[in-house]
A = this chain, B = another copy of it.
């Protein structure tokens, strides 16, 4: 199972940033105030500092992200994961910065013109972890309290 030697922290950070830049979808976990977990894959944009997803503003994910103010995201296949805990900033169609919505539309699609009313959720990582196999569990923390550890 563990043919590859563990990557260095620097390599994991580089791989993580490459994944943020090129991957299309993330697993978005959220929960309501009663502790009901929800999970859905959503397309995302990485702008160099945060991850933005959009979803109809009345959807379950939107309601959860709004009430919790935070999210946990999973990236990559299960044997090459990046996990992010982040704080959530919500934007409506009226408040979303043009630059952010424009970059989202360029990478993915433009939710500003959908029949459903969408909200944008910009998630700023506070903690980032990355590992492939069991031998990479030590050293999996790449960011804590919003600061890269390397």
**Is A38 part of the contact surface with B, judged by Cβ < 8 Å?**
yes
Q: Interface size for chain A: under 10, 10 to 19, 20 to 34, or 35 or more residues?
A: 20 to 34
Q: Which A residues between 5 and 39 are near B, CB-CB below 8 angstroms?
A: 24-27, 29-39
Measured in the bound complex, the distance between the Cα atoms of B11 and A12 in whole Å is 38
**Is A125 part of the contact surface with B, judged by Cβ < 8 Å?**
no
Is A29 in contact with B38, judged by CB distance below 8 angstroms?
Answer: yes
Is B39 in contact with A72, judged by CB distance below 8 angstroms?
Answer: yes
**Of the 9-residue stretches A51-59, A75-83, A96-104, A116-124, which lies at the interface with chain B?**
A75-83
Closest residue of B by beta carbon distance from A109 = B1
Please give, as numbers and ranges, the residues of chain B lying within 8 Å of A105 by CB-CB distance. Answer: none
Nearest CB of chain B from residue A21's CB, rounded to whole Å: 16
